[in-house]
């Protein structure tokens, strides 16, 4: 019998056990195996969502029996967010300001905020973590997580650490989900590991550890959707979810490292993190340097292998079901133009989210700035990007340019785009719209 056959058998056993009385069930469970998690090494072929599986971790636990309802890529998939938002935040998105242009048909108006950014209990603000070294940006996520753990608001934090090999050496790019119980463990979550990460792999551990009554789950949209679907089965008193924006993740750490070597052409062994920024450049934090390369100089053929199929089918860039969301695309780049110094954005979706942010501020670990604002038109540039995009070209059977623009021209183009293109919230709108359109085509 294949793995999926065993899982069906496990699910059936679960249903039977549920309808019996306890002593019969215990006697039966001694001889019948429970649900069988799928072995991660068989990803993606053995996983129910196949090539569109984002390896969220659910299927690597006994919660695999709930995959049909929980998976962001099966059945109604991410369309379920529409109804889940009401349950999680107390209301769905306000869509009455959904409009593309003003009456003249040209000037963009700052509308459709909840359609793009999700339910907002208050306007999106700028924020910085305080005193966190070695984070991806200024460490807003780690600041909030640490404050919640250290103040006793939660007993444990689910986050993605860098995987350690047996010599204790950890690779910045290899994600490992952990159930952090100490300050040191939460600090292991600092930095984005640029590949699909099985955040829900610790679900069985959480359910079986009765000392965990209050939990903080940190994760990206697809993982948060699956987590929200099963969180009631964990029998916890309080559950908080701290999300990050997320788009275009790599299928594996190796694919991310290849992107750095072949695309950005840096020594990936010295890299510590990278981001796609609103100055139209990829920024790479190196051990001893900080490299910026215009998007336009990247070879057209690197994008395909660097982006997981799940992320081409993803419509939850802004992590709709988290209580608080941290990102960067709506924040201005400051004069240094480097990610460690620049404000991030913070969205609060509900009253739990407010308490999470207060915990960070009370601990002096989180500083809130002004409301996030921006400028520039996002509409034409979104459609123009889709039209020239190498991934879209590949879908249409068009020619993919193997070489990017020469460096000088790419730099000029980035300066021009930076000056005329959208900034702050305007850039965030552009990025969201481009990804929705591209992924819809996929
Ligand atoms: P830190 O304090 O350094 O904490 C990092 C957090 O990220 C930890 O909680 C850790 O658990 C989590 N994490 C690390 N690796 C992964 C992973 N592979 N999967 C899930 N969680 C992980 N923001 C945007 O505005 N636009 C984007 O396009 C965008 N893309 C992203 C893509 C990915 C794969 C991820 C994980 C995040 C992305 N973000 C994006 C969010 C942004 O990069 C930062 O994560 C965010 O601003 C938090 O920075 P920080 O300094 O507060 O995080
Ligand atoms: Fe399972 Fe998650 Fe993959 Fe869906 S995305 S098939 S729930 S591991
Ligand atoms: Fe998941 Fe979407 Fe991020 Fe891909 S882009 S890892 S599918 S949230």
Q: Summarize pLDDT for 328-355 with one digit per residue, the tens.
A: 999 998 767 788 888 999 999 999 999 9
Mean pLDDT, residues 293-305 taken together: 88
Q: Whose CA is nearest to atom 44 of ligand 1?
A: 327
Rg (C-alpha) for the chain, rounded Å, is: 22
* Residue 141 beta carbon below 6 angstroms from any ligand 1 atom: yes
At 281, the pLDDT band (50, 70, 90 cuts) reads very high
Measured in angstroms, how far is the CA atom of residue 60 from the centroid of ligand 2?
9
Measured in angstroms, how far is the CA atom of residue 220 from the centroid of ligand 1?
8
* Residue 357 beta carbon below 6 angstroms from any ligand 3 atom: no
418-438: pLDDT as tens digits? 888 899 999 999 999 999 999
Structure token pair of residue 434: 């481009």
User: Looking at the DSSP assignment, which residues form a beta bridge with residue 129?
Assistant: 366
Q: Whose CA is nearest to atom 3 of ligand 3?
A: 246
Residue 141 Cα: closest atom of ligand 1: 52
User: What confidence score (pLDDT) does residue 27 get?
Assistant: 45
Measured in angstroms, how far is the CA atom of residue 136 from the centroid of ligand 3?
18
Residue 138 Cα: closest atom of ligand 1: 51
Over pLDDT 70: what percentage of the chain? Answer: 89
Considering the domain boundaries, does residue 47 fall inside one?
A: no
User: What confidence score (pLDDT) does residue 186 get?
Assistant: 98
Considering the domain boundaries, does residue 69 fall inside one?
A: yes
393-414: pLDDT as tens digits? 888 887 777 788 889 999 999 9
310 within 8 A of 230, measured Cβ to Cβ: no
Which among 2-11, 34-43, 104-113, 293-302 has the top mean pLDDT?
34-43
Residue to mutate, 60, 198, 226, ligand 2, most ligand atoms under 8 Å from C-beta = 226
Measured in angstroms, how far is the CA atom of residue 27 from the centroid of ligand 3?
42
Q: Which ligand is nearest to the CA of 56?
A: 2
User: What confidence score (pLDDT) does residue 3 get?
Assistant: 34
Measured in angstroms, how far is the CA atom of residue 137 from the centroid of ligand 1?
9
Q: Which ligand is nearest to the CA of 40?
A: 2
User: What confidence score (pLDDT) does residue 13 get?
Assistant: 37
Considering the domain boundaries, does residue 150 fall inside one?
A: yes
User: What confidence score (pLDDT) does residue 401 get?
Assistant: 75
Number of domains in the chain: 1
Q: Whose CA is nearest to atom 4 of ligand 2?
A: 71
Considering the domain boundaries, does residue 270 fall inside one?
A: yes
Gap between the Cα atoms of 316 and 227, Å rounded: 14
Q: Is residue 293 predicted with pLDDT exceeding 70?
A: yes
Residue 54 Cα: closest atom of ligand 2: 5
90-148: pLDDT as tens digits? 999 998 777 655 556 565 555 678 999 999 999 999 999 999 999 999 999 999 999 99
At 6, the pLDDT band (50, 70, 90 cuts) reads very low
User: What confidence score (pLDDT) does residue 110 get?
Assistant: 52
* Residue 54 beta carbon below 6 angstroms from any ligand 3 atom: yes
Considering the domain boundaries, does residue 301 fall inside one?
A: yes
350-387: pLDDT as tens digits? 999 999 999 999 999 999 999 999 888 888 888 888 88
174-227: pLDDT as tens digits? 999 999 999 999 999 999 999 999 999 999 999 999 999 999 999 999 999 999
Gap between the Cα atoms of 431 and 146, Å rounded: 30
Give the strands of the sheet with 271-276, arranged side by side: 271-276, 281-286, 290-294
Structure token pair of residue 303: 């994008």
User: Looking at the DSSP assignment, which residues form a beta bridge with residue 424?
Assistant: 374
Range of the domain at 393: 54-441
Q: What is the mean pLDDT of the chain?
A: 88
Considering the domain boundaries, does residue 18 fall inside one?
A: no
At residue 383, what are phi and psi to the nearest 5 degrees?
-70, -35
Mean pLDDT, residues 7-16 taken together: 37
Considering the domain boundaries, does residue 431 fall inside one?
A: yes
Measured in angstroms, how far is the CA atom of residue 44 from the centroid of ligand 2?
9
Gap between the Cα atoms of 191 and 186, Å rounded: 11
DSSP string computed for 258-316: HIIIIII-S-GGGEEEEEE-TTSEEEEEESS-EEEEEGGGS-TTSHHHHS-HHHHT---
Considering the domain boundaries, does residue 38 fall inside one?
A: no
User: What confidence score (pLDDT) does residue 36 get?
Assistant: 94
């Amino acid at each position: 019998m294949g793995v999926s056959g065993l899982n069906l058998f496990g699910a059936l056993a679960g249903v039977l056990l549920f309808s019996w009385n306890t002593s019969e069930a215990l006697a039966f469970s001694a001889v019948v195996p429970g649900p069988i998690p799928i072995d991660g090494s068989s990803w993606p072929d053995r996983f129910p969502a196949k090539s569109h599986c984002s390896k969220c971790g659910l299927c690597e636990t006994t919660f695999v029996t709930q995959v049909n309802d929980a998976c962001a890529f099966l059945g109604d998939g991410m369309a379920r967010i529409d109804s889940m938002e009401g349950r999680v935040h107390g209301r769905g998105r306000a869509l009455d300001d959904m409009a593309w242009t003003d009456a003249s048909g040209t000037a963009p108006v700052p509308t459709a905020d909840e359609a793009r950014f999700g339910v907002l209990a208050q306007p999106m603000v700028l924020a910085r973590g305080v005193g966190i070294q070695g984070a991806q940006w200024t460490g807003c996520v780690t600041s909030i997580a640490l404050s919640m753990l250290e103040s006793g608001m939660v007993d444990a934090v689910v986050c993605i650490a860098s995987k350690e090999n047996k010599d204790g050496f950890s690779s910045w790019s290899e994600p490992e989900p952990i159930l952090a119980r100490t300050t040191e463990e939460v600090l292991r979550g600092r930095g984005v590991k640029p590949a699909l990460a099985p955040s829900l792999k610790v679900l069985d551990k959480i359910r079986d550890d009765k000392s965990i009554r209050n939990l903080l789950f940190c994760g990206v949209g697809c993982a948060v959707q699956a987590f929200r679907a099963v969180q009631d089965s964990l029998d916890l008193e309080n559950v908080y979810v701290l999300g990050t924006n997320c788009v275009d993740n790599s299928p594996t750490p190796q694919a991310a490292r290849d992107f750095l070597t072949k695309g950005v052409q840096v020594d990936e062994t010295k890299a510590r993190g990278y981001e796609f920024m609103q100055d139209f450049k990829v920024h790479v934090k190196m051990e001893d340097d900080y490299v910026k390369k215009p998007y336009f100089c990247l070879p057209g053929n690197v994008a395909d292998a660097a982006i997981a199929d799940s992320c081409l089918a993803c419509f939850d860039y802004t992590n709709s079901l988290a209580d608080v969301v941290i990102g960067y695309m709506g924040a201005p780049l400051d004069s240094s133009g480097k990610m460690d110094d620049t404000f991030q954005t913070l969205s609060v979706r509900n009253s739990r989210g407010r308490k999470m942010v207060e915990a960070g501020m009370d601990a002096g670990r989180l500083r809130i700035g002004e409301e996030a604002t921006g400028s520039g038109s996002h509409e034409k540039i979104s459609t123009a990007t889709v039209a020239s995009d190498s991934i879209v070209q590949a879908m249409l059977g068009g020619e993919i340019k193997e070489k990017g623009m020469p460096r000088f021209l790419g730099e000029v183009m980035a300066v021009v785009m930076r000056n005329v293109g959208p900034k702050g919230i305007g850039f965030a709108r552009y990025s969201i719209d481009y990804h929705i359109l591209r992924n819809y085509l996929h």
